[in-house]
Amino acid sequence: MQHVAIVTGANSGIGRATAVHLAANGMRVFGTARNLQSTGKLEAMAADAGVTVEVVPMDVTDDDSVATAIASVIDTTGRIDVLVNNAGIGGNGVVEDCTPAMLQSVVDVNVGGVLRCVRAVLPTMRAQGSGAIINISSVAGRIGILAQAPYVASKWAVEGLTEQLALEVTAFGVRVAVIEPGVTKSAIFAKNSDLPETSGAYDAHYRRMLQFYRSGLKHATDPFEVAALVYEVVTTDTPRLRYSVSWGGPELCDGRAQMDDDTWVDIGRATTDDDYYGRFEAAFGLPIGPDAP
């Protein structure tokens, strides 16, 4: 029996790599995108790999769009074995610069999108007595990232929702996991360049956040590394709830888990950029200053 997978946000980055990789490993894959005109690279990559990814229009912020898209897959195949909730957006801003509207717009995509898709597939998975739901979170779901309050808040919510879901559906034979990538080659960085600074008080915070990503992008992981992990999570006989991957992923997730809160907060007391970069490297083993290799 050929397994059926749905990958949201399949037109770029991790989603595109995951859709192609699952198809290359024998699954029938439906990749969703809000705009079908943006799927040219997905179709070309799939063709180069000698596989097919069937494209389905879906806007994860629209209840009807999600319900219609997933119903169309069920009507076509009669089942859904894998849901990869990958669609997401970034969101910059320190907390003081973050308006409720900014927060809501990011949460609606990153959390609401996950919830809508989960609710749409679960009746079928429960009836089957099997299935796997993989939510793509971020290191920002386990650790605060300077000047990215909307994104961090949304990804922490994804982590909580995933943990809750895993507890609730394991009895139905449904596997749930969350993947926490660090810096991965993705279009999300180019799309997430706005700095909504209003007071001028947080110049250093925005500067240090941008420098973190500049350093990470030097070593950014190919999204197929994340895709390979998705396949492993779906097929392993010894599944876990959480997986970290990509540049900075294990270091940040594990480092923060082993660090007490006072030590974490103390990093923010750095008085200069060099002081901050030094404290960060001492805490996580990641050099992020301008001179970092």
pLDDT confidence of residue 196 = 81
pTM: 0.95
Dihedral angle computed from the Cα positions of residues 63, 65, 66 and 69, in that order, rounded to the nearest 10 degrees: 160
How many whole angstroms separate alpha carbon 52 and alpha carbon 49? 9
How many whole angstroms separate alpha carbon 131 and alpha carbon 127? 10
Question: Tokens at residue 64, please?
Answer: 């009807």
For the chain, give the mean pLDDT. 95
pLDDT confidence of residue 198 = 77
How many whole angstroms separate alpha carbon 192 and alpha carbon 171? 39
pLDDT confidence of residue 186 = 72
- Tell me the domain boundaries of the chain: 4-192+221-249
pLDDT tens digit string along 189-241? 555 567 887 788 999 999 999 999 999 999 999 999 999 999 999 999 999 99
How many whole angstroms separate alpha carbon 78 and alpha carbon 71? 10
Answer yes or no: are the C-beta atoms of 57 and 85 closer than 8 Å: no
pLDDT confidence of residue 185 = 87
How many whole angstroms separate alpha carbon 21 and alpha carbon 42? 11
Strand partners, 93: 148
pLDDT tens digit string along 152-183? 999 999 999 999 999 999 999 999 999 999 99
- Catalytic annotation, pick one of 151, 206, 243, 277: 151
Catalytic (active site) residue 276: no
pLDDT confidence of residue 205 = 96
What three-state secondary structure class fits 86? coil
Question: Tokens at residue 40, please?
Answer: 């040219």
pLDDT confidence of residue 191 = 57
pLDDT confidence of residue 168 = 98
pLDDT confidence of residue 189 = 55
pLDDT confidence of residue 152 = 98
The rounded radius of gyration (Å) of the Cα atoms in the chain is 19
- The alpha carbon of 122 is separated from its chain's Cα centroid by a whole number of angstroms, namely 20
pLDDT confidence of residue 43 = 95
Low-confidence ranges of the chain (pLDDT < 50): none
Amino acid at 31: G
N residues, the chain? 293
The DSSP secondary structure of the chain, one letter per residue, reads ---EEEESSTTSHHHHHHHHHHHHTT-EEEEEES-GGG-HHHHHHHHHTT--EEEEE--TT-HHHHHHHHHHHHHHHS---EEEE-------B-GGG--HHHHHHHHIIIIIHHHHHHHHHHHHHHHHT-EEEEEE--GGGTS--TTBHHHHHHHHHHHHHHHHHHHHHGGGTEEEEEEEE-BBS-THHHH-------SSTTHHHHHHHHHHHHHHHHTPBPHHHHHHHHHHHHH-SS--SEEEESBTHHHHHHHHHTS-HHHHHHHTT-SSHHHHHHHHHHHHS---STT--
pLDDT confidence of residue 194 = 74
What three-state secondary structure class fits 89? coil
The fourth-level CATH superfamily of domain 4-192+221-249 is NAD(P)-binding Rossmann-like Domain (3.40.50.720)
